[in-house]
Chain A
Amino acid sequence: MNYEPSTLAIVVFLLFVAVTLGLSFYLGSRAKSSQGYFAAHGQIPWFVNGIAFAGDYLSAASFLGICGMIAFYGYDGFLYSIGYLAGWIVALFVIAEPMKRLGKFTFADALDARFGSRGIKLAAGISTLAVSIFYLIPQMVGAGVLIQPLLGFPHWVGVLLVGATVILIVVTAGMVSTTYVQFLKGSLLVVFSLVLTCMILARGFQVQPGGVDGHVFQTLGPFPAAELESSLRDSGRFTGWEPLGATSTSPARYLRTFEAAGDSIVWRFDSGGDDGQQVVLRETQTITVAADGTTSVNGRPPTTGPVEAQLHPVGFVSQLPQGASATGAVGPLGFLSTLQQSEVVLWSSEKVTEADGGVTTVYYPRPTPGSQVLRPGEHPTFRGIRTGGALDKLNFLSLMLALFCGTASLPHILIRYYTVKDEAAARRSTIVGIASIGFFYILTLYIGLGAMTSGALDVTNNNMAAPLLAKSISQWLFAIISAVAFTTVLGTVSGLILASSGAVAHDLMTHALRMDLSGHDQVRVAKIASVVVGAIAIVLGILFKELNVSYLVGWAFSVAASANLPSLVMLLFWKGVTRQGVIAAVVVGMVSSLGWILLSSETFTAVYGLPASSALVPFSQPGIVTIPLGFATLIVVSLLTARRAK
């Protein structure tokens, strides 16, 4: 029921996309020179550029990924918000003005301002490409996720649609139109997130037994453990039962019951009762793929349509403070303090093997106190900070460091410093960016927690939390939020593709390979590059479908920070930097961080399908190793080569 496309949603959505494209073509027709194509003639007003920063930056990952992570795991998603925003401080106080002063079109220009070296242009151009493509993956995954419930297409069609649209925008347009699209999208995103937040606060909390489709999730018990079987028998409801999920090392965690009408339910054993020593059975949801390949959902053969859509929506409050059944409207602080004292039912999943060799994915409820929802360390990635393993703590520090350092190293953010007039305008637009982005990130906490208690979550896909929350409030809001989120993807993707095509045409072809291209030819090469990069992004977006988009963005930040930041910062603060030092730092930072990610346990399980224990690096996030490595490389190589030059 989650995925029935509505006519209203489609109309609003198409209207948005049409306006965006129209605006893009109109403005694009006015910029013909290469200066205009890559840097909008440096004539964008600072306020527009500032909101466009927000438009570029608040990608599908910010909106869908963070809200989804908060909706499923609570506070942990908000850690990303905090890290992303903190990165802007580096951009404003350290990078913004020198970037504007040193460069012309691309980030490589700024790195190379002192040296005039082909090697630097080559290395920086390649790193721009690598980071942009890495950052494109989550945007494409996000696009597929959005299209699915909105228009009813499968994931890959969504990815293809976005890819094609964006290539069209970039090829016909350039930086002027991209900037105005970003401005439009940035404003809409912040405004409608505010509207959504106000509606969440006006709705408040209600205690519910299930999600918005009215299905009531049952619990049986508590029984004393020894009386479980006799209690089931005495109830007269079940014709039989069997344990599920037992392994050689652990007892069964689930019980499948059968009823006379042919229904079967899988229950999860939980401890309960006044002393916590008794057994409670909680109703779960299941998708079973039997050994012969047939699928069943919650014990029944699936009807037509996506399998995921036949699961019941979830996410509800099971207890409010003082036993209330509903709070009515709450204030922004009351919202958080009420949740702190409530109990929310979160959902986790687990794959278990059936006796016949088939596999059942069980989605099971976890009643969780609000005080746990609002503390760090519930998400699997962050759980380590609570259990105390040193490597887990390092992994967390590494991620937070990458988020802090990554923003100021993202090529599509850096090129935005060339669209304004001077250093003062660069500074002012960054401040506008920080204000709008910071405000939005505060809203993400409310939207995420609102989705957590909306009764509309899809247990199989946490990236959909925000649009489904909007749907639980009104169809109009759903249509608008989906359209805004989709333009968000369009905007960020076009910014990224523009940054990569600029790197190819300007850094690689013109400077590194010394091709003699006129401004017109450069623009043509850039457009061809856009099509190629776009195609690569489409393929990767389909391959990486399973990963939370926020997590993927964390990686893009790690690569950007490791490859670009050491050179950028050291050039500003140390006179001893040499050409070779910059090249070595960019290459080492890029290769080491990419290599680390490809060898990490997360990639092993999610991409290669191998067990996590066979991963070759001790933790997943590379930043804490590879960022210092980049700095060290730069200093050592600079010292070595400087001495030789004497």
Chain B
Amino acid sequence: MRERNARLGRWLFLIYLALYGGFVLLNAFSPQTMEWIPLGGINLAVVYGFGLIVAAFVLAMLYGVLCRNDSDDQQLEERP
């Protein structure tokens, strides 16, 4: 169970790392892209920034839901 959780964690971590890395590199090497206004009069800097915060929450919830099943199983197994 522990190994499966760790593997899941690593995958979700890599997904977030790619999102965050993209944001940082875009800021550093192409800051003018951040001024582009993709929707509703709000620029990419704000949209991507909010997106990163929401993505952290979504990935964390996903991890919580997927792991919880595991630990519930574990608790069942551990019960005498």
Which of A88-96, A223-231, A275-283 sits within the interface?
A88-96
- What is the total number of residues of chain B having a CB less than 8 Å from a CB of chain A? 39
Q: Are B52 and A85 in contact (CB under 8 A)?
A: yes
Pick 19 A–B contacts, CB within 8 A, sort by A: A79-B49, A82-B23, A92-B60, A93-B12, A97-B9, A333-B40, A336-B42, A336-B46, A337-B42, A340-B43, A377-B27, A386-B31, A396-B27, A423-B2, A423-B71, A427-B64, A428-B64, A434-B57, A438-B57
Q: A-B contact count, CB below 8 Å?
A: 122
CB of A327 within 8 Å of the partner chain? no
B16 to chain A, nearest CB (A): 5
Main SS at interface, chain A:
helix
Interface residues in A42-82 (C-beta closer than 8 Å to B)? 75, 78-79, 81-82
Cα–Cα distance between A337 and B56 once the two chains are bound (Å):
24
Q: Mark A202-243, 1 if CB is under 8 A from B, else 0.
A: 000000000000000000000000000000000000000000
Cα–Cα distance between A89 and B29 once the two chains are bound (Å):
24
Most A CB contacts (10 A, CB to CB) among B54, B60, B71 go to: B60
Cα–Cα distance between A333 and B42 once the two chains are bound (Å):
8
B11 to chain A, nearest CB (A): 9
CB of B76 within 8 Å of the partner chain? no
Q: A401 to chain B: which residues have CB within 8 Å?
A: 24
Q: A337 to chain B: which residues have CB within 8 Å?
A: 40-42
Q: B54 to chain A: which residues have CB within 8 Å?
A: 438
CB of A5 within 8 Å of the partner chain? no
Q: B13 to chain A: which residues have CB within 8 Å?
A: 89-90, 93-94
A377 and chain B: residue at smallest CB distance: B31
Q: A636 to chain B: which residues have CB within 8 Å?
A: none
A374 to chain B, nearest CB (A): 6
A341 to chain B, nearest CB (A): 7
Q: How large is the interface on A (under 10, 10 to 19, 20 to 34, 35 or more residues)?
A: 35 or more
Interface residues in B21-67 (C-beta closer than 8 Å to A)? 23-24, 27-29, 31, 34-35, 37, 40-43, 45-46, 49-50, 52-54, 56-57, 59-61, 63-64, 67
B25 and chain A: residue at smallest CB distance: A397
Q: Are B53 and A371 in contact (CB under 8 A)?
A: no
- Beyond A376-B27, A423-B71, A441-B53, list 5 extra A-B contacts (CB 8 Å): A79-B49, A89-B12, A371-B35, A393-B28, A435-B57
Q: Are B64 and A374 in contact (CB under 8 A)?
A: no
Q: Are A424 and B57 in contact (CB under 8 A)?
A: no
B11 and chain A: residue at smallest CB distance: A93
Cα–Cα distance between A374 and B34 once the two chains are bound (Å):
9
Q: Are A374 and B28 in contact (CB under 8 A)?
A: no
A386 and chain B: residue at smallest CB distance: B31
Q: A341 to chain B: which residues have CB within 8 Å?
A: 41
The listed residue (A340, A431, A442) touching B42 by CB distance below 8 A is A340
Most B CB contacts (10 A, CB to CB) among A375, A385, A386 go to: A375
CB of A400 within 8 Å of the partner chain? yes
The listed residue (A393, A404, A428) touching B29 by CB distance below 8 A is A393
CB of A430 within 8 Å of the partner chain? yes
Q: Are A374 and B46 in contact (CB under 8 A)?
A: yes
Q: Are B9 and A93 in contact (CB under 8 A)?
A: yes
CB of A86 within 8 Å of the partner chain? yes
Q: Are B53 and A82 in contact (CB under 8 A)?
A: yes
Q: Are A375 and B16 in contact (CB under 8 A)?
A: no
A433 to chain B, nearest CB (A): 9
Q: Are B53 and A85 in contact (CB under 8 A)?
A: yes
B74 to chain A, nearest CB (A): 9
Q: B35 to chain A: which residues have CB within 8 Å?
A: 371, 375
Q: Are B52 and A82 in contact (CB under 8 A)?
A: yes
Cα–Cα distance between A157 and B31 once the two chains are bound (Å):
43
Q: Are B56 and A434 in contact (CB under 8 A)?
A: yes
Q: Are B68 and A424 in contact (CB under 8 A)?
A: yes
Q: Mark A544-567, 1 if CB is under 8 A from B, else 0.
A: 000000000000000000000000
A631 to chain B, nearest CB (A): 16
Cα–Cα distance between A430 and B61 once the two chains are bound (Å):
10
Given contacts A78-B49, A89-B59, A93-B12, whether A400 and B24 have CB atoms under 8 Å apart is yes
Q: Are B56 and A85 in contact (CB under 8 A)?
A: yes
Cα–Cα distance between A256 and B69 once the two chains are bound (Å):
72
Q: Are A79 and B27 in contact (CB under 8 A)?
A: yes
A565 to chain B, nearest CB (A): 14
CB of A445 within 8 Å of the partner chain? yes
B23 and chain A: residue at smallest CB distance: A82
Cα–Cα distance between A338 and B41 once the two chains are bound (Å):
8
